[in-house]
Amino acid sequence: MKIVILGTGEVCRVLAPALLSLGHEVVVGTRDPRKTMTGNPHYRLLAARHPELRLASFTNAVESADRSGLVVNAISGPACLDALVPLAAGLTGHVVMDVSSPYDWSRPDAVLDPVNTDSLGEAIQRALPGSFVVKTLNTLAAQVMPDPEVVAPDHTIFVSGDDEEAKLRVGDLLSAMGWRDVLDLGGSRTARATEMMLRMWIDASAALGTHLLGFKIVR
């Protein structure tokens, strides 16, 4: 299917090759394509390795999207709402796979915002009222997202969203990536649960000395 990835950071650089290798057509959206090609050496390397990858402005990337495909929100958490709001009309009818965290990694002592009484996933769904937002993959380091085996064969990936069909489409993609334990937590409100696990991810990563970990819901 056709997959549009919004954002050119680490998540894009990991997901794009994985999605290409699964046979999908991938378009990457960025604020300013020229700036990305000149000022982002990591992205330039990715583009050189994968000439089939298309780069476009956010608006053009969304225009090229297919309603039977997926749009991935891989814009960094604190910035993504400002970037997504102007795209709301173009994203109407689309499934948006949201992998963001409400956390500013550039601040040394950041806390989650929003949290507890709201989530970034819910805020994105409110900002994109015509889209079907599915929160997933936000409990992991980028490099583990498209390949659970980077950590271990069996850990849990969570999906949250209000539209059942959208969750099934995302679940199929997760299965194709190798995720065996896909746990549908429920509506978009349950994004609070996965976003709040970031605190454990950060502390457990520090305690264990590795970001390569996953959460298994043992039952």
The binding site for its own copies (CB under 8 A) comprises 111-112, 115-117, 151-152, 154-155, 183-186, 190, 192-194, 196-197, 199-200, 202-204, 206-208, 210, 212-219
Q: Which residue has the tokens 């997901």?
A: 15
Q: Are 142 and 105 in contact (CB under 8 A)?
A: no
Report, in Å, the least distance between residue 68 CB and its own copies.
27
- 169: how many CB neighbours lie within 10 A of its CB? 19
Nearer to its own copies, 175 or 210 (CB): 210
Q: Quick one: DSSP state of residue 197? A: T
CA–CA separation, 187 and 190 (whole Å): 6
- Minimum Å gap between C-beta 196 and its own copies is 4
For residues 149 and 155, give the distance between their C-alpha atoms in angstroms, rounded to a whole number.
9
Q: How far is the CB of 113 from its own copies (least distance, A)?
A: 8
Q: Which is nearer to its own copies, 37 or 202 (CB)?
A: 202
Tell me the closest approach of the beta carbon of residue 217 to its own copies, in angstroms: 5
Nearer residue to its own copies within complex by CB, 85 or 152: 152
Q: Which is nearer to its own copies, 42 or 199 (CB)?
A: 199
Kindly list the distances between the CA atom of residue 205 and the CA atoms of 170, 201, 209, in Å, as whole numbers in the listed order: 27, 6, 6
